[in-house]
Amino acid sequence: MRENEYEYICGIVYEHSRINLGPDKRELVSARLGKRLRATKLATVGEYCQFLKTQHNGEELAHLIDAISTNHTFFFREMAHFDFLCTTVLPEMKARAKAERWSQFNVWSAACSSGEEPYSIAMLLDEQLATSWPWHIACTDISNRILDKARGGIYREETVGKLTPDRIHRYFQRGYGPQAGNYRIKSSLQSGLTFQHLNLLEGEPPFRELFHVIFCRNVMIYFDRKTQEELVAKLARLLIPGGYLFVGHSESLTGVPHSLKSVRPAIYRRPLACGSS
């Protein structure tokens, strides 16, 4: 891949997704472009760049961003976040719910990838809230391909097998015959989640409600400081006063101007309104 070709790919990806691909990502980009070259039956990166320039409907650009986006995840990744949600956030929000007249507990999985994160949250909410307080998880991602996988809720045995036997029995249907080795999320759990495509940096997210909790983990590591500041401000506006933002453990808001209060590593909170306890 020539330097001008790499610069073009980096520029178009940044323009449309704000993913900042530096010189250290050249090998990753080259590997992922290989998939798109095979899919488009083009021989060189130069031909692919020309192809992108002629795609006025942006279909191939969407495929490119899909390919570049990293989607490494697993159930209950960064377990400390789920422990904090269970032991601190839920008891606190339940105590406020009646006075605040909250009809349901709202969570946003802002970069839900293939679904392991929001389904993990859903398992925990089902266990902790049962029927005592309705809940909903809004799940969004920039990748249509990975959203389709999340909606399908089908995972391989080696992935599901890391969960406890009780959770596997309670929340998954085991596949047989042609589906042997696959496990599908049960509809009773899946009904509490909605999935939609969303670029976090394009306009305001289409939500009417505010969220008690937002998970936006392992996303900002791909953004430059200006973009991080813009995104955090947007997320903060969508939290209820006292709501919590979870970012990845490899991420930090140090050096990023924001209105949130640091609670513990990778957990931030929107300040409570004046006069609130």
User: Exposed, middle or buried, 3 (CB in 10 Å: 0-12/13-18/19+)?
Assistant: exposed
Inter-residue contact 84 to 264 (CB < 8 Å): yes
**Residue 171's closest CA among 193, 200, 194?**
193
- Pick the closest to residue 30 from 5, 55, 58 (CA basis): 5
Distance CA(153)–CA(156), nearest Å, equals: 10
What is the number of H-type helices and E-type strands within the chain?
A: 12, 10
Q: Which positions are catalytic? A: 32, 141
For residues 133 and 105, the answer to whether their CB atoms sit within 8 Å is yes
- Residue 249 to residue 196: CA distance in whole angstroms: 25
